[in-house]
Structure 1
Amino acid sequence: MTRAVVATSGADPGTGLLTVLSLVGGESLDISPDRVVPKLGDSALPPGGMSGGSTATASAGTAIMIAAAKAIDDLLKLAAAPGAPFDGMDVSYADGQVLAGGRTMTFGEVLRALELPSLSVTGSSAPGEELTKHSFSSFGAQFCEVRVHKWTREIRVSRMLGVFDSGRIINPTAARSQIIGGMIWGVSAALHEGLEIEANGRFANGDFASYLIPVNADIPEVDVHFVEYPDTLHNAVGAKGLGEIGTVGMAAAVANAVHNATGIRVRHIPIQIEDLLEES
């Protein structure tokens, strides 16, 4: 089976970029994603942007689409060249195949007929002038419900909801998981994480035994929804950033819910039991 290799020197430190290469590559070449071999993280590969700042999918995805369009165009020219399988014919491309005159040949069959080992192209993308005319931020609304014990003032999060507009969602499963992780991080910042510094400047809780982070019992079921409005002004893929947007609103939502439940406005994090006892 002929496979397409999509390669960039970018990295995937858990952002899902590796899967994005397969999905966007398959879609752009009109073949199944399982026929795409993604390669990452080698300086010998074509230059790639950083995996940060909520930019990896948009930048890499656009470059893949440009490269795929070039590859298809080059393939059609080769297929219709003198002495080629579709010599002089009006050729088209669909479903990973070259079509003309009632005949079809796959990408690989055309290359083998021409005795070519492969067809290589490079695509690149860079911010266009549209970035100076429009805002391309992602947007989100986050909600939570908390329960505050009447006497002990213990805070428990009982429900969480996030709704996000991050343009086109390339990989819904990974996107949902990334948002859930971000929302959990927001709860962690609001109720758990806090460094205690001793008088001599050392951290009193500088390890995971004493630095508090949420466990499964601290996190309820998380409900995540995406608006799915592709922003093709931003890039050809229509995707926008998804890395940070899941975290930024959650701590504020928790603080507002605590205020709604107790009438006490706490203006620092983490919110501790003592903050609610002092004014109770």
Structure 2
Amino acid sequence: MGLGTATAVFPASRFPATIEITLRADETAVVSTSGADPGTGLLTVLSLVGGESLGIPPDRIVPRLGDSTFPVGGLSGGSTATASAGTAIVAAAGRVIDDLLVAATADGAPFTGLNAAYADGRVAADGRSMSFGELLRELGRDSITATGSSAPGEELSKHSFSSFGAQFCEVRVHRLTREIRVSRMLGVFDAGRIINPQAARSQLMGGMIWGMSAALHEGLTIEGNGRFANADLAGYLVPVNADTPEVDVYFVEYPDTLHNAIGARGIGEIGTVGMAAAVANAVHNATGIRVRHIPIVIEDLLD
């Protein structure tokens, strides 16, 4: 049995993004952008950050993605989607609230001449309070829409941003056959504010399993003519449930509001980064043999 650890660092970036928010008379809000969700949880981010920014429950947010008629969204890759889209949501929410207050205090409106304020989905002034849906219906409007944009600023020229992790594993190496089994993995990550803890935990667990797979299973064999010799799952090995150990994830939650308005950095890749190195270190701890390539195979550990 051997124990191994490794550090993990992945750059924290964000890209220009624009979000459209529509407050509707039925008390819901539509949050739209033309970005994509290839399994990164961006649809949920739109609901969570949109609800928070507007002061309403996330289940009253209608998230919309993947249509070119929507405003241009940020890239869904490089661990950037949450920071890019989330910051634009905050900007769009501020603008649509401002427009709502202008409409609420215009001549003939319910709050004409008053210093109205918005909080928790309601407009209030002088003891009177109306939800934004009630206000829109009173104004005879179905909806009110605004867009907001966000892009990296001068902070990137002054600072370097990354997500960080420490990853640990326990391996068991059979004394006779030299078969390697990973029995436990643990990752502790600092990725700023975690918007969706359940999805973030699952995503990082998946990344760690992928890193273990890189260490012990996956490896392409290329023939002389450039053809992949193991171009199917019979030859290209990936872990199954029996190969997957106990995995645990912890977060060091410290919002990075210097990086962006919501304080979140990326988690899409950081879970994979240090895992193969941790496995290699654990194999060395168990056997005394230092392997400096992946995947680590039985032949590497034969005397």
TM-score, normalised to structure 1's length? 0.97
Q: What's the secondary structure of 1:223's corresponding residue?
A: strand
**2:56 matched to 1:6?**
no
Please give the alpha-carbon distance, in whole angstroms, between the structure 1 residues aligned to 2:40 and 2:202. Answer: 10
Deviations 1:102-154 (A, max 9, x none): 11101011111111221110000000101111111100110101001111111
1:158 is the counterpart of 2:158: no
- Root-mean-square deviation (CA, aligned residues, Å) is 1.0
- The equivalent of 1:266 in structure 2 is 291
Q: Give yes or no for the alignment of 1:230 onto 2:252.
A: no
- Give secondary structure in 2 for the equivalent of 1:119: strand
| Aligned equivalent of 2:301 | 276
Which residue of 2 is the match for residue 47 of structure 1? 72
1:217 and 2:217 are equivalent in the alignment: no
- Give secondary structure in 2 for the equivalent of 1:52: coil
Q: Which has the higher contact order (CA 8 A, sep 6+)?
A: 2
Among residues 156, 164, 167, which one is paired with 1:139 in the alignment? 164
What secondary structure does 1:141 align onto? Answer: strand
Task: Give me the whole-angstrom Cα distance separating, in 2, the residues matched to 1:209 and 1:96.
Answer: 55
Residues in 2 aligned to 1:209 and 1:18: alpha-carbon distance in whole angstroms: 35
Counterpart of 2:7 in structure 1 is none
What is the SS of the residue equivalent to 2:169? strand
Q: Which structure has the highest strand share of the two?
A: 2
Partner of 1:169: 194
Q: Which amino acid aligns with 1:168?
A: R
Q: Structure 1: which amino acid aligns with 2:143?
A: S
* 1:6 CA displacement: 0.3
Taking the aligned partners of 1:238 and 1:162, their CA distance within structure 2 comes to 21
Per the alignment, residue 105 of structure 1 pairs with: 130
| Gap runs ≥5 in structure 1 | none
Gap runs ≥5 in structure 2:
1-25
CA distance in 1, matches of 2:55, 2:97: 10
**Within the alignment, does 1:130 sit opposite 2:155 as a pair?**
yes
What is the percent sequence identity of the aligned residues? 78
Q: Distance in 1 between matches of 2:133 and 2:47?
A: 18
Indicate yes or no: 2:50 matched with 1:25.
yes
Matched, 1:252 2:277: yes
The count of residues paired between Structure 1 and Structure 2 equals 278
Which stretches of structure 1, 4 residues or longer, exceed 6 Å deviation after superposition? none
Instruction: Tell me by how many angstroms 1:202 deviates.
Output: 2.9
Determine the C-alpha separation between the residues in 2 that align with 1:55 and 1:152. Answer: 43
| Structure 2 counterpart of 1:180 | 205
Provide the rounded CA distance (Å) in 2 between the counterparts of 1:30 and 1:52: 29
Q: How is 1:109-120 mapped onto 2 (pairs within 5 angstroms)?
A: 109-120=134-145
3-state DSSP class of the match of 1:122?
strand
TM-superposition CA deviations, 1:157-207 (whole Å, max 9, x none): 011000001111111111111101100100000000112234554322110
Provide, for residues 212-246 of structure 1, a one-character-per-residue CA deviation record: whole Å limited to 9, x for no partner.
10001111111101101100000001001111100
Q: Secondary structure at the match of 1:124?
A: strand
- In structure 2, the partner of 1:38 is 63
Report Cα offsets for 1:37-61 as digits up to 9, x if no partner: 0000011100111100111100100
Q: Which amino acid aligns with 2:287?
A: T
Could you report, residue by residue, the CA deviation over 1:17-48 in whole angstroms, capped at 9, with x for unpaired residues?
00000000000000010000000001110011
Equivalent residue letter for 1:90: N
AA at the equivalent of 2:124: L
